[in-house]
Amino acid sequence: MVEAMDILPNQIIRLLQLGQVEDVKDSKTIWICASCFTCEARCPKGVDLSKIMEAVRVLLLRKGVDFIEISKLSDDELEEAPQQLLVCSSRKFTR
């Protein structure tokens, strides 16, 4: 999924460390993260990036910031999307 990210996961961590929350909030990366744990496995410091991405998403969702509204997807988009994607997205992308 890294190809679809506008900011790399390690850069998200650095931005958070520097207090640049707005840059993280405006990023697609936190919503695209598949929580596959690849970043954590490769991190030399053992940082659990998946948990951090999930925490940032939850905080944004609590503030009413959302990336996608499933109810606004067209019938064609819903038919083409795998069921698992829709279930995961409804958990990840909605309040």
The DSSP secondary-structure symbol of 38 reads: H
Residue 63 lies in a domain: yes
Residue 85 lies in a domain: no
Residue 45 lies in a domain: yes
Residue 78 lies in a domain: no
Residue 16 lies in a domain: yes
pTM above 0.85, yes or no: no
Residue 93 lies in a domain: no
- Look up the domain containing 23 and give its range: 2-67
Instruction: Kindly give the confidence (pLDDT) of every residue in the chain, 95 residues in length, as a single tens digit, with 9 standing for 90 and above.
Output: 777 889 988 899 999 999 998 899 888 888 888 888 888 888 888 888 888 888 888 888 888 776 666 677 788 877 776 665 555 555 555 44
Residue 84 lies in a domain: no
**How many structural domains compose the chain?**
1
Number of neighbouring beta carbons within 10 Å of residue 31: 19
- Length of the chain, please? 95
Residue 7 lies in a domain: yes
